[in-house]
Amino acid sequence: PRSSSDRSDEGLGWRTRMRYVLTEQGEVALRGHRSHEVVPAADCRIAHPLVRAAVADRVFPVRDAGETEVEVEVAASMSSGTAVVTRLPGPSASSGSGSGSEVETEIVEVVRDRRFRLGPGVFWQVHPGAPEVLVDAVLVGLAPRAGETALDLYAGAGLFAAALAEAVGPSGTVVAMESDPPAVASAARSLADLPQVSLRGVRVSPGSLRGLAATGADVAVLDPPRAGAGRAVMQALLALGPRAVAYVSCDPASLARDLAVAVAQGYSLVTLRAFDLFPMTAHVECVAILTNTPGGERGTHAPA
Ligand SMILES: C[S@@+](CC[C@H](N)C(=O)[O-])C[C@H]1O[C@@H](n2cnc3c(N)ncnc32)[C@H](O)[C@@H]1O
């Protein structure tokens, strides 16, 4: 039999997080392309086998026949081999493990020997290979050094903050900013042993970035939602003078707009890598590395 990673290599069975709507009969479904049509999809072929197993032949209670907006989120954990099913929205959501009868509300993901403890609905990269690949790309691009100050903006559960904290060591500092309270709580649980991480439950904004003016930043990673960071945030970030910035993006258009702001502010685009982390779809994940060194060379503190 083939392993799940074999299937991932073929571009199928990779999606570890699925958000379904329910049909009037209570089956999991997806919406048709650019339509409101509800299409039963328990066998969606890009969904990870653990996710498919958790919803196969399962009928969820639907409160009344006209209620078509009920959503179910299924998140599979690669490290534990379980899937957590959460009915959205609201605290009355029922939750259970797809691998047995035991109720489990936290998902554990392991990256570089660190256990990330994720509450329901907290953002996590959907492709099983994504966390390692993206952390590697960010570390190679930023080359953080012991004692430096690093920023992780739009930090989620702290995937990049953890890697940066290991790299800058106990004499360094990592400031992580994230606005979603459950994600901040997950990061706090997962990074509790790293005192060099300062976790801020705030929106990334020109104001919150100006608050870092006293410490500045040597390096920064930002991983915003599809809309990008926007001009004002880019300008406020670069005003802190980081020698290198890693921009992780799931939307090439907003990435291009934000990179144009950086270039206008004297930064150089030194590498732009694209990763096929959404196989069988038109989506692509990019990691852009910017430096404030005129020749694009990394590792100096030369002014822009
Ligand atoms: C694409 S995810 C990246 C998370 C993390 N870097 C990772 O790879 O797991 C974007 C994150 O930004 C958060 N977010 C969205 N808008 C924000 C804002 N204005 N300020 C801070 N965080 C924000 C979301 O809650 C989400 O966790």
pLDDT, tens only, 171-194:
999 999 999 999 999 999 999 999
- CA neighbours within 13 Å on the CB side: how many for 70? 22
Q: Give the three-state DSSP class for 215.
A: coil
Atom of ligand 1 nearest to the CA of 134: 8
Distance 201 CA to ligand 1 centre (A): 11
CB of residue 254 inside a 6 A radius of ligand 1: no
CATH 3.40.50.150 is right for the domain spanning 130-291 = yes
pLDDT band at 270; cut points 50, 70, 90 = very high
Find, among 244, 234, 216, 238, the residue nearest to 301 by Cα: 244
CB of residue 183 inside a 6 A radius of ligand 1: yes
Are 301 and 244 contacting, i.e. CB atoms less than 8 angstroms apart? no
pLDDT band at 83; cut points 50, 70, 90 = very high
How many angstroms separate the CA atoms of 236 and 203, rounded? 13
What does the mean pLDDT of the chain come to?
88
The residue ranges of every structural domain in the chain are 4-105, 130-291
Are 212 and 220 contacting, i.e. CB atoms less than 8 angstroms apart? no
Res. 51: pLDDT tops 60: yes
What pLDDT is attached to residue 6? 52
Distance 118 CA to ligand 1 centre (A): 14
Q: Which residues contact 195 (CB under 8 A, 6 or more apart)?
A: 170
CB of residue 124 inside a 6 A radius of ligand 1: yes
Taking residues 279-300, what's their average pLDDT? 81
